[in-house]
Structure 1
């Protein structure tokens, strides 16, 4: 017997309508881009922090990057139009990014990752500790076993 389905309104995705207001999404992104905390954003929008995270989580995660890209587009457009302040700003941003890349790249190139030592079991650790048990004590050679060889 075929299943009956409900008729949907055209353009409807079904389910509950979204509680996200596009204007609020933009405001959340802008506030996050300015470094405002999630708690302060929630308070400003008269939402609980939980509701803010639930409905505007994506805006909180990508808002800063999206607004930074938007700002860069504006600065580039102004620089192409010959505005000296925009050219200076872009030059400073590029120099800072290059310095950061050199710093991070140089640190990685100078210090290759050291191989991790093999993980030892309880017996291997106990054996190593037994070999060095007399170090730093006044026991001296009292712990040595005649004729035994330590590894």
Structure 2
């Protein structure tokens, strides 16, 4: 939740909108009270006032990079939403008895993560909606297949 709130701040509440461009576990630090903090803004991109997207060279770490980077299309804050979704869900609950014991909460978190990694960026929620879904304020609808553009058929 701390990272989701941090991304919401960067995307919607800062006077200058910031796309982090490299959200991954290695760039999440814990403070003295075990609050998650976003670090390493070396690849971050600042957006000017009223700018919603930008064109730039691919940034980020393999495995966390949103598909739009590879399509040579303008990127938005949704690239951070994609990275926040993180495909390696087992690492999020590994050795976590609380997560394993509360399967409803775990299922909700997994479904939110799948919404975040949608290949079609228009389907990815804003960080505000992510927080509302994680908190249980907003119902989490069953997500579609996250990679419909990559589906190939065998003949």
CA radius of gyration, larger in: 1
Q: Which has the higher strand share?
A: 2
Q: TM-score, normalised by structure 1?
A: 0.26
Identify the structure with bigger relative contact order (alpha carbons < 8 Å, sequence gap 6+): 2
